[in-house]
Each structure stands twice: as C-alpha cells, then as structure tokens.
Structure 1
Amino acid sequence: MAKPTKTRLVADRRRASAPRAKSKTAKPRAATTGRRGPGSWLTWPFRLAARIFWAVAWRGTVAIAALLALATIYNYAGLPDMASLSDGRARGSVTLQDRDGRTFAWRGDNFGGLITLDGVSPHLENAVVASEDKRFYSHLGVSPRGILGAMRNNVQAGRSPFSGSGGSTITQQVAKLLCLGTDWDPATGISEAAFEADCRAGSVWRKVKEIPYAFALEMKFTKAEILSIYLNRAYLGAGARGFAAASQRYFGTSVADVNPQEAAMLAGLLPAPSYYAPTSNLERAQDRARTVLTLMHDQGMLGDTDFAAAMASPATLSPAAREDTGGYFADWVMSDGPDFLTGDTTEDVIVRTTLDQRIQRAAESALQEVFETKVSAGSEAQAAIVVMSADGAVRAMVGGRNTRGGGQFNRAVQAVRQTGSSFKPFVYAAALDLGWRFDSIILDSALAIDVPGSGIYSPSNYTNQFYGEVTLTDALTHSLNAATVRLSENVGRDVVRNVAQQFGIESDLAEGPALALGVSESTLLEMTGAYAGILNGGTSVTPYGLSSLSLKGDDRALLDHDSGLGERVITDGAARQLVYMMSQVIERGTGTRAQLPSGRPAAGKTGTTQAARDAWFVGFTGDYVAGVWMGYDDNTPLTGVTGGGLPAEIWRETMARVHEGLPVTPLPMIDPALETRPAPQVAGREIAPRSSPPREDEPNIAERVLMDVLGGIFRRN
C-alpha cells in the first residue's frame, strides 16, 4: 500500500489590493500595545487614589483591629470579679432613725447590698432593657445601629453628631460607671463629683476608649452579670447607689418585689437621677415612668392588662420618703457626730437619734401657719425653731422657712445673733442663787455707769419710763432694763457671765454692763439648751441629737448617748423661783401672746435686740423647752416685730401642736402664796454691794467664787 504523501502547508501570499472603503459608522480601534486613548490622562489620578486608599484602608483596618484586640485583652486582664465591681462607692452611708427607730433621712451613698439578676423583679429587668438598650441581649457590647441612630437624632435636633445622645449600650454605660477601670483618688485633689462627671463625659475620645473596655466586659461576664453590675452601680438620686437602695429609699420595698409602675419609675431615673427623682418632683417622675411603661409595652415586655393597670395607678413614694422632714436636724446630727463615722465614713452606719417626727411636723406646720397668715406676702424674713426635752435631747429643729431637703443654711445652729432680753433670766438666776428672792426689791430708775473707754452708760426701758422700787418678779415680767442692769451690777458681771456660760452659752460674752441686756451673741440651740437647764432644776445640759451609732448589720452600739445632763449651776430652790418668775412673763408680762390653750402652764422670756434686728421667744412647759428666733439673714431690721409678737405666736402654735393629747404637766416652780419669808428691801437708792443677805445654806462670796472656778475646771463636757 502506497504511503500517503505529506503536504506542506504554506500560507498564501498576500496580494496587494485596493484599500477597502471605510464604513461610515466604524470607529478606530485603540492600540492594544499599552497606549491609552486621548482621555485616559484625566482618570489616572482617581485610579491612583483609589489604589492608595485601598492599600491604606485594609492595612489601617488590620492595624486598628490589632490595636482593638490588644486593648480588649489588656482591659480584660485588669477586670476583677463581679462582686468587686458592684459597689464602687468611695464613702459609706448613714441612715438616720428617729427616737422610735423609723428612718427619716439618709446621708452619704446608700447601697442596698449586692444583688444579682435572680433576686430582681422581672419587671425591673424589662424596664431597664426596654428604656436603655433594647438590643442588649443581641449585641457584643457596642451597637453600631444605636450609635448611627443617635448621631442622626443629634443632627435632627440641631446639635453636633457627637453631642447629646450617644447611643451607648448598657455595656458601655457600665464602662462609664466603672470609669474604664480607674478609681477615684482623693489625693488628686479632684472632688468625687468632678471625677464622676469626667467619667461620664461624652467626648469622642471617651467613646473610643469605651469600645475595647465594653468588649472586655462582654468577654469576662455574661449578659446577666453585666446587667447585675449596672443595677448595683447606677446612681439613682437622693443618695441611692444601686436599685436595691433606690427601691428602699423611694418605695420602702425590696427590689425583688417592685411592680411594673415602680420598676418603670426606677428605670426612668437613669438618664437624669436628680432631675427625675420622685422626692424632687413626683409628677415629673410619674410622667417619665409612663414613657418607660410605653416602651415596655411596645417591645412586648408588658401585657395589655398589666400595662393598662400600671398606667392607671402610677407609683407613689413611701410615707418616709414622702414626708421629707427633719433635714435641718439630720444635717446637724451629721455635723455634730464624729466625722469618721458620719460625714467621712467609709462604712454603712445606722444612727438612732432623738428626733420625734410628730414634734418635727408640729414645728414645721406652726412656722408655715404663722408666715402664711401673719407675715406680709413676699417678706424675706426668716425664722428658726428648736424643741427639746429638759435633759437636752433635741426633738425637733427647723432652720428656716424652707423645710424640704438638706444642706441648707441652718439658722438654729449656724446663725449667731444678739440675744436681747432673752438673756435676762441668767441675770436673775445668778441673783437668786446668791440669796435674792423672787419678791426681793430692786430699784428701777435712771442709772449712770462710767464705762472706761466708752463713757457713761445709761440704760432706759422700752417704754421710756421708770417704775421705782419693784420686785424681781415684776422686773423680769415686764423686762425692765434699768432694774436688770442694776441687779447685774449688784451681783457682779463676772458671776452673771459665769452662770450663763455654765448653762451652756459658749459664745463670747460682753464685758460691760450691757451684758445684762443681751448684747452678746449666741445661737438658738445654745439658748434653748440653757433654758432647759432652768426647767430641769438648775443643771446644765448639752443639747444632743445622737442617741446611738452602730454599723449596719451589727447590733452593738459603737456610741451611746442617753442624756445631756451636766453639772449643777444653780440650786433647785433658785431654779424653782426663776420658773415662777418666768411664768409671770407669759401670764401677765411681755409674753402674753404665748399663752397656751386649756390653761396649760408655761414659762418663758421675750427678747428684742437693738433696732429689732432679732426677735426671740424661748420658753417651756413641764414637758418640753422650745426656742424661736426671727430676723433677716442680712440683719435688716424687722418692721413692727418684737419677741412678744410673731416669735411668741410661732412658739404658741408650735407648743400647742406639740402638746395635743398630752396630759397637763405642772411647772416645777414655787407657790408664792406658801413663801412666807419676809422680802428684804433695798437699803436706799444707791447700789449696795448686796441687797439681800444670803440664805443660811448658801456659801459666802469668796467660797462661791472658788466653787465657780473649780466648777469651770472640772465641768463635764
């Protein structure tokens, strides 16, 4: 078979031909050998920028992710356990109870104890999640949707995208509460409030730092634990740190038992605790709670029936929170107690006090009644009231017309004012203790005393008249100035000053003869305490409000105080005579407007200072002592007011309310009809060294001075 022959393949030779006619629609093809069209130079900068951006972007993203991971790991390593994070207070709390053990005030940061989600009402969990972070259980600590939504809302509200709402998740809010792991240090000189404000600052850099810390929290803890930290750590106004404390503070109930409307009110406090606090404005707090209830209902966390019931019956305050009484008293107890267990305590402390809330309400309502009915509208005059028992236990304190809240200027203890004629009982106490009697005679006439460096001192009476020879009782009853100065000069200014100081007037007392007329200054608390010494038979008292102090959960008292009684100042006989004399002030003297209903016996003394800058009435019944001061904070003279006027009426209104339902207790005073000893007379019209001889049981002058000196040295504080 013949082999096939191989045919060589050769391309046909191209032959020259006439050029083809170009189509009218044909376009020239661009060269494919790297050359660009004529417009390519316009787009190459954008292509180059895109390449550079992509190169930088993916490398930057990797770098940021690496930094974020490192920051998250670093924060994770520094996180302690949940219990350590739950109570972040720098100081402890003080719970103040009245004489019956009922709580009436809180100071410091109250912490209700560590709570977990298992011990919290489901309504509270739902309220917090619905109002603060509805995606809490689905995100990883940061919600981009929430942040973008917050930025949009800020722009729509006319603000910068980064100011106003920040779209923070609950995890990010926990990061804020923990201040990104930094604790407040007093040594830095920054206040705790300023430190916390800086931690909550919504700056962009702060937001950036929150992100890895939030991721670390999500890595370290479960969602339930993160929410538990939030519930324990959040500040909710009125000194309540955490929902357990707030539930007790506002509703007097456990955080496990709050109903939907109470839970909504508590959750509603989170954005602005002080603003939405129900103790500040209950109606505003209820409106905010309705908003939270609506969110719970819309998100399926509250059924139709429960929602309707909660909206129809908003949460209200407990009786203790609603009364908001005793703020001035609480502030005084806090300032008067040991700092390391009150104002600067790092422990949770329970303080049992002497406060009687019934008496406190009586004093507050009496002050309000008089100012609403007897004082001109718009007047800026102020008043203060102190009520105490004869042993110095303070039962009520009103430091000004605004009786709500604490931290205000307390005129009962902080205002140091001239006492006027309310000082005169100490002059008569000194005389009676030296042997004068209630019916001894003193001359009320013009008096001229040469005061070195000041010239002649000549006191006059309020009526600009003199009454000649009068009994000591009448001189005090009608508040005769000349007779009182003459008596003071007779017994000795030093003796008068010593008696007043032993009764508790700690302020500097004047050296000149005007001492007898109350030109020296004192506080209402001091004056009321000094009068308590007259009521109890002549024994000094130290006013006190703290009965006992113990740590929370510990029944043992660290401090115990059951009496303010001190040393005897004047004899019981002198005190009984003085009480009688002071009873006549109310019965027929300058204090008749202080007379109590039902013929209840009372004793007291009016006081009006120069130019009527201060008006006083201090007095007592057989049960209680009460002091009233009235004046202006800037020392503006009162118009038409004396101690026997509005202060006496405030005193009467207070004591009438205080004694409602109480049996009548007689005053510890003499019966003048049974005092048969002849009254000695003044020998002439000149001041004698002593107008009445001492009783047989009284020491002589030298012995008396020695006893006064020794008493001053060894007097018990």
Structure 2
Amino acid sequence: MTVLVEWIRKIRRWMLDLDARIDSTLFSTGKGTRELYERYSAFMDRFHVGRWKRWVFIEPLSEAATLGLGGLILMLALAVPAFRETADEDWLKKSDLAVTFLDRYGNPIGSRGIKHNDSIPLEDFPDVLIKATLATEDRRFYDHFGIDVAGTLRALVTNAQAGGVRQGGSSITQQLAKNLFLSNERTIERKINEAFLAIWLETRLTKNEILKLYLDRAYMGGGTFGVDGAAHFYFNKSARDVNLAEAAMLAGLFKAPTKYAPHINLPAARARANVVLDNLVDAGFMTEGQVFGARRNPASVVDRRDENSPNYYLDWAFDEMRKLVDTFPKSYNERVFVVRTTIDMSVQRAAEEAIENQLRQFGRDYHATQAATVVSDLDGGIRAMVGGRDYGASQFNRAVDAYRQPGSSFKPYVYTTALLNGFTPKSVVVDGPVCIGNWCPQNYGHSYSGPVTLTQALTRSINVIPVKLSIALGGKEGPKAGRKKIVEVARRFGIKAPLPDTPSLPIGADEVTVLEHAVAYATFPNRGKAVTPHAILEVRTGTGDLVWRYDRDGPKPRQAIPANIAGEMAEMMSHVVSEGTARRAALDGIPTAGKTGTTNNYRDAWFVGYTGNFTCAVWYGNDDYSPTNRMTGGSLPAQTWHEIMLAAHQGVEIKELPGVGMGTKLPQSPSAALLAAHGAAPKPPDIRPPPVLTKRGADVLVQVEKMLDDAARTVDESAKPAKPVSSTSAGFTESFASALPGASTASTAPRKY
C-alpha cells in the first residue's frame, strides 16, 4: 500500500512539472512573438506612407501585385493543356512523316507529308524567298519572343475597322506551333494553347530553326508540305532555284493554300503574289524597281489539271497512317514510308464521275450542291471515297468529318434489334398513331396502313413502326430502354457517332458519317461480322522493308449479330430494292439490298446498300443545311449508287448474298420481250457503266454554245439577206467543225446528219 501511494505522488509531481514546462513554453513563445511583431511594426513604420501618396502609389501597387498573382495562377492553369501536347519526347518527329501512297495493285497515286530527300538548309534558300515569307507572315520575327504583341494589336484594330478578318495576328512561331501540335479549328482554346506553345518553342529552338521548320512543315496546297515540295509541284524545280515572282507566289500560299493554289486558281495566286510584292516594298526589304520585273512577268505554273489524285482519300489515309505510326515502338526512328492502300482507282474514278454528272444534270433542279460516297469491300477496305464535289474548292471531307442525319437508312439497326429480341420478319405491327410525350411521328404520306409485317414496313419505309418497336423493346422500362438497346446494336455494327437519346432516334434523327454508315452495313453480307474501315493494306519503309500488314496486324472481324439474323435482315432489305423505295438502285443479275433515307425538309438524301461483294453509301445535300427540292433517297442517291456499283462489279466474281441468294435478271422491257416472242435473240445485257459526259466534253459543249451565241449576234447585227455569208460566220463554221471529233475543215459543203 505504501509503495502505491509513493507512485501516485511521483506521477503527480511529474504531471505538475510537465504542466509548468508547457505553461512556461507558451508564455515564452507568446512573449517572443509579441516582441518580434513590435520590432516588425517599428521597422515598417519607417516606410509608412500616408495621405495622397498612399492612394497614388501604395494601393495601386498592392492591387497590381494581387491581380498579378491571380493572373499567374490563371496562366498556369491555362498552360497545362498546351504543355500536355509536348509530353511526348518525340514531339518533333510526330509531324515529319513522308508517305508515298500506292493503290491496291501497287500503282502510285499520290503522297503526303514533308519532303525528306535533299532537304535544303536554311542558308541555301534564296534570299528573295526568305524576305517574301518574313514580309508577308511576320516582319518582326527576329525581334519578338514568340508572340508579336504589336502585330496582334494592329491586326485586331484593322479587323475591327474592316468588320471582318483582314489581317492575321499569328506570328511564324505561333503558326508552327499550330502545325506541329494543334488542329485548324477556330476556337479560343486553340488560340490560347497556340500562344503558350509558341513561347515554349522559342525556349527550345533558335529563331533560324523555327523558320526552317516552318518552311519545311507548312501545308502549301496540292497535297504538298514545305516550300521545296511546293516548288517541285507548281514549278517543277527546287526551291533553291525559284525567282522573285515564284518566291512571291509561294509566300502567298501560307495564308490560304487552298484559295491561292495556282494549279486551281492561277489568277487568284498571281493577285496574291502581287500583294506579297507590295509587302516586300512596304517592309523595306526591296524597292519598287526591284519588284517591277516580277510584276510584269508573273510566275507560270505546271499544268496539273489532268492529274486526278484521290485527294479526299489520301488525306484520310494520311491521318490513319499518322495514328498507326504512334503505335510503333518509340525506338523506331523511320519516318519515310511507302503505303499500299485499299483504293481501286477504276471504282474511284467511276464514283467521282457519277457524282459530278448527277450534280451537273440534276443538282440545280433538286437544289443540291454537295455529295459524298464511300465504297467498301466486306473486309472494311475502302475501295473509293468522294468527300465532296470539288477538292480544289473545299478540302472538308464530307464522307469522314460531316455528321448528317441518316433518316430512314438508320432503320435497319432498329429492325435488327427487334429481330434480336424475339420479333421475326413476319411479325405484324399496327401502323397507326403513336406519341412519345408531345412528339408524334408521321409517315411520308401522312396516312397509316394498319397491320403490316416488319418486311412490309421496312420496304415501304413506314416511320411509325420503328418508333413502336422502340417502345416494345423497352417493355416495362419504357421507350428510353428500347432506344438504349438500339444504340447498343448500332455500336456493335461500328457506329461511333454520339447518337444522343432522343425519341426520334429510331427514324434516323441522330447524325452519323458516311464512312461509318457504309462500313456498318457490311455486317449484313458478312454473316453478322462487323469490320473496321481502313485505308492501309501494308506499310513498308523507303527501302522496302515490311513494317505492318493489315491481315496480320490489323483488327479482326467481330461477331456483332448472329448469322441468321444478318440473313433475315438482308432478305428484308432486298425488298426495298426490288419493290420498295430504291428500285433505281437495282442491279441486273446481282443480288442487292439496302435502304433509302430522307430527312425532315429534305435536307439529306441517302442510299446505303450492299451486294455479296461490296457495300456503298451515297449522300446528297448542302453544306449550309438548306433543304433540297424534295430530293429523296430513291432519286439521285439510288441512281448514283447504281452507277458506282456497276463499275465496282466489273471483272469480279459475283458472290451470293447471304439470305438472298444469287440475283435475278430485271424484268425485260416491252421491246426486248417483243423481239424474244418473234424468235430474235435479245441483246445480252450491257453491265458496263452507262456513257456519261466527261468534264472535258462538257467544256467543249460550253465552248461551242458560246461560239454559236457569238455567231448569231454577229449575224443579227451586220448581215443582210442580199449579202453573202460573212467571214465571221465562215470562221465560226471552221471553228465549230474543228471542235467535232474527227471533223475536217477542208470542205465547207453542207452535210446531212
């Protein structure tokens, strides 16, 4: 007991000692802190500024420091996305690819990327080319830190006064940053990233290195990158050898290579070159006398109008190649490649001619100005791609980058979902009024057909049935669940478009691309296997070493739906061509299936179809989303599809279409039936593409029309009945005769035709 009491006393004394020490420490700390604060206050009192001096000097400086700190934090936050672009140690190599493209048979079809061979050092570029570039693009290039503040402010003032974009404020460093890391989209985010990356480039590279990269990497039109590649393309010479007029034309391309490309619009290119010559004089780099000769003798360019490269296809293939190179090991340093693609140039030319001819003949009547098409084999290899009517006028690829409403051509994904969930092609659904909330879909003729089978509904493109199917697919969970199932099936087919959930999704209100839509349809003839669209068959180095091959290294087909469902859908969709809305697409003796699509106000018209060999999607419309003149998918799209697929099937073995079998001959015309009844052998069907008017032929006809008008005007003004035919009229007769194939002007005797 005594021992316990002793321990309790010791613990109490120890705790009292600890408490005393804590109190002493707190007191000493507080006292020391107070003394330090008093000393600090006494020291700061020496700098006290009162009255007017405080408000004039001290307060503004304090506010500036606060705002500066906040601005610094904001700048760091904005800089993070820009600097993420530089995370890759090989950032400089990502954009220096040089690719030569071959068609599927090994024939060269074009190139993309920068020119590697015989790369020209900066000091070897002509002085006039360097001066023309600096005078036009960035006169203070060697004076600023990556952003030309004065130039930017001047451009803002000029554009504000002009009410539009007249001057660009980006420095050469900013433009290089955009070329190396960013896209061409016009957004505030891109401009902010561009500014930060420009400053970053200035810290990593010298001014001469930046200028050299800019001259080598800038896009110069015609599929060329860099001034040396452009000089070879436009003038058939090295950039080392260009004269002042040619240098001015090249320097004028940096602003808008599409608009000022001389092989497309030579007058505009020469006018732009004149502006560059003015800039040389204004900047003090040259005198008016020195540029006078270049004004009087503008540059002449190589005529490349007959060189029809599949540029939309090449742009897409080059993007695919850049993504593919990113998958190669980082230790792989090769940057020059030869790529064999999937394109078939005969099909490509047929697609281009079909679209051009349809738009030339019927575009004005239908108020349609643009079209796009994709032809794919059943492996997903793109045999042809047309991204617009004229690549020279617009490089925007409507087959790959444009999202348009597919209309009823989306319905096969809905019917496939229905078949996967217990429906059959013979299942009956009542075509009658239906509403989801305040939205009530209407059929094309604003009428209803009563009970119809799924096959009949798809053939006649009834709108109400897919909506009712989406409701039925949702069951107790509601239409939203049904639409979710439809989107999941579309994803299995390969549709990657956003497809937001809207009540009108089952009738094609959500947007897709022509490329995805065309290749997704390949799932039907592929017995339910979905494939990936691709342009590249094999990649080799410049020395011929095989690097990558699609059949070995590419993605494999995936079973999206059961084969029997794919067959049932093909059988249902074949009725659309044989007796439904797409009769103009029918191919004689070739099994065909597909679906038309027409959107609200006729803004988009589609036909997407397939055979046992190929699938093809055709879209018509306008870039500004203005409505067409009642164009439906069964009109120009189906006609164009017919012409393209006739050409695509030349010289190939016609394959059976699963679910349909082999094709049947189309019904004979009355004249052919009459000949057959009298024992005359009917002429074998000609499955060649119908003769079409080529662009050159159209130009000749336009020229002839002008000559006829001129001659008629001359006769009306000066000819009298008593006088003989004038010399002008005789000259016209010779000119007209010479314009006819095989005509001779040796004799002017009248002929009978």
What's the TM-score once normalised by structure 2's chain length? Answer: 0.52
Q: Tell me the alpha carbon deviations over residues 390-419 of structure 1, each in whole angstroms, 9 at most, x when there is no partner.
A: 12112222222213387x222212222222
Gap change, CA 1:188 and 1:484, over 3 Å in 2: same
Q: Tell me the alpha carbon deviations over residues 350-389 of structure 1, each in whole angstroms, 9 at most, x when there is no partner.
A: 4433222222211111110000111217946322111111
Gap change, CA 1:336 and 1:583, over 3 Å in 2: farther
* Contact 1:367–1:654 (CA under 8 A) maintained in structure 2: no
Gap change, CA 1:341 and 1:461, over 3 Å in 2: same
**Mapping of residues 234-245 of structure 1, within 5 Å:** 238=221, 239=224, 241=226
* Contact 2:574–2:660 (CA under 8 A) maintained in structure 1: no
| 1:590 is aligned to 2:581 | yes
Q: Tell me the alpha carbon deviations over residues 600-650 of structure 1, each in whole angstroms, 9 at most, x when there is no partner.
A: 321110111222222211111222111112222222222211111222222
Match of 2:566 in 1: 575
| 1:468 is aligned to 2:450 | yes
Gap change, CA 1:174 and 1:334, over 3 Å in 2: closer
Match of 1:94 in 2: 98
**Mapping of residues 175-574 of structure 1, within 5 Å:** 194-195=171-172, 238=221, 239=224, 241=226, 249=233, 269-273=246-250, 279-280=263-264, 322-331=307-316, 333-334=318-319, 337-338=322-323, 347-376=335-364, 379=367, 381-404=369-392, 408-438=395-425, 440-449=426-435, 451=436, 454-455=437-438, 457-492=439-474, 493=482, 494-511=484-501, 513-553=503-543, 555-557=545-547, 560=550, 565-574=556-565
1:95 partner amino acid: V
| 1:113 is aligned to 2:124 | no
Q: Tell me the alpha carbon deviations over residues 178-213 of structure 1, each in whole angstroms, 9 at most, x when there is no partner.
A: x999899989999999439999xxxxxxxxxxxxxx
Query: 1:629 aligned to 619, 638, 656, which one?
Result: 619
For residues 192 and 349 of structure 1, the distance between their equivalents in structure 2, rounded to whole angstroms, comes to 36
Task: Quote the offset at 1:334 in angstroms.
Answer: 1.3
For residues 129 and 312 of structure 2, the distance between their equivalents in structure 1, rounded to whole angstroms, comes to 35
What's the TM-score once normalised by structure 1's chain length? Answer: 0.54
2:104 partner amino acid: R
Gap change, CA 1:249 and 1:512, over 3 Å in 2: closer
For residues 512 and 569 of structure 1, the distance between their equivalents in structure 2, rounded to whole angstroms, comes to 24
Task: Quote the offset at 1:267 in angstroms.
Answer: 9.9
Gap change, CA 1:477 and 1:254, over 3 Å in 2: same
Give the secondary-structure state (helix, strand or coil) at the position aligned to 1:110: coil
For residues 185 and 89 of structure 1, the distance between their equivalents in structure 2, rounded to whole angstroms, comes to 24
For residues 523 and 340 of structure 2, the distance between their equivalents in structure 1, rounded to whole angstroms, comes to 24
Match of 1:305 in 2: none
1:488 partner amino acid: S
Gap change, CA 1:666 and 1:114, over 3 Å in 2: same
Gap change, CA 1:242 and 1:517, over 3 Å in 2: closer
Match of 2:198 in 1: none
For residues 639 and 458 of structure 1, the distance between their equivalents in structure 2, rounded to whole angstroms, comes to 25
2:323 partner amino acid: P
Task: Quote the offset at 1:579 in angstroms.
Answer: 0.9
Give the secondary-structure state (helix, strand or coil) at the position aligned to 2:524: helix
2:620 partner amino acid: M
Deviates most, 544-553 or 275-284: 275-284
* Contact 2:367–2:629 (CA under 8 A) maintained in structure 1: no
| 1:642 is aligned to 2:642 | no
Gap change, CA 1:557 and 1:475, over 3 Å in 2: same
Structure number with the bigger relative contact order (C-alpha 8 A, sep ≥ 6) is 1
Instruction: For structure 1, list consecutive stretches of 5 or more residues without a partner in the other structure.
Output: 1-87, 117-124, 133-167, 200-228, 256-261, 287-313, 674-717
Task: Quote the offset at 1:491 in angstroms.
Answer: 3.5
For residues 246 and 518 of structure 1, the distance between their equivalents in structure 2, rounded to whole angstroms, comes to 44
Task: Quote the offset at 1:429 in angstroms.
Answer: 1.4
For residues 265 and 659 of structure 2, the distance between their equivalents in structure 1, rounded to whole angstroms, comes to 50
1:366 partner amino acid: A
Task: Quote the offset at 1:659 in angstroms.
Answer: 2.7
Query: 2:643 aligned to 649, 653, 657, which one?
Result: 653
Gap change, CA 1:267 and 1:627, over 3 Å in 2: farther
Give the secondary-structure state (helix, strand or coil) at the position aligned to 2:630: coil
Give the secondary-structure state (helix, strand or coil) at the position aligned to 1:643: coil
* Contact 1:101–1:352 (CA under 8 A) maintained in structure 2: yes
Deviates most, 428-437 or 604-613: 428-437
Gap change, CA 1:666 and 1:91, over 3 Å in 2: closer
Task: Quote the offset at 1:461 in angstroms.
Answer: 2.1
* Contact 1:96–1:330 (CA under 8 A) maintained in structure 2: no
For residues 345 and 240 of structure 2, the distance between their equivalents in structure 1, rounded to whole angstroms, comes to 29
Instruction: For structure 2, list consecutive stretches of 5 or more residues without a partner in the other structure.
Output: 1-91, 153-167, 177-211, 254-259, 271-299, 328-332, 475-481, 664-753
* Contact 1:418–1:520 (CA under 8 A) maintained in structure 2: yes
2:529 partner amino acid: T
Q: Tell me the alpha carbon deviations over residues 154-186 of structure 1, each in whole angstroms, 9 at most, x when there is no partner.
A: xxxxxxxxxxxxxx6899999999x99989998
Task: Quote the offset at 1:466 in angstroms.
Answer: 2.3
For residues 403 and 267 of structure 1, the distance between their equivalents in structure 2, rounded to whole angstroms, comes to 29
Gap change, CA 1:331 and 1:193, over 3 Å in 2: farther
* Contact 1:546–1:561 (CA under 8 A) maintained in structure 2: no
Task: Quote the offset at 1:571 in angstroms.
Answer: 1.0
Gap change, CA 1:581 and 1:113, over 3 Å in 2: same
Deviates most, 647-656 or 572-581: 647-656
For residues 538 and 354 of structure 1, the distance between their equivalents in structure 2, rounded to whole angstroms, comes to 22
For residues 494 and 217 of structure 2, the distance between their equivalents in structure 1, rounded to whole angstroms, comes to 46
Task: Quote the offset at 1:578 in angstroms.
Answer: 1.0
Task: Quote the offset at 1:665 in angstroms.
Answer: 3.0
2:561 partner amino acid: I
Q: Tell me the alpha carbon deviations over residues 103-132 of structure 1, each in whole angstroms, 9 at most, x when there is no partner.
A: 33333322333599xxxxxxxx9xx9xxx9
- Percent identity over the alignment? 33
* Contact 1:419–1:521 (CA under 8 A) maintained in structure 2: yes
Give the secondary-structure state (helix, strand or coil) at the position aligned to 1:480: coil
* Contact 1:388–1:624 (CA under 8 A) maintained in structure 2: yes
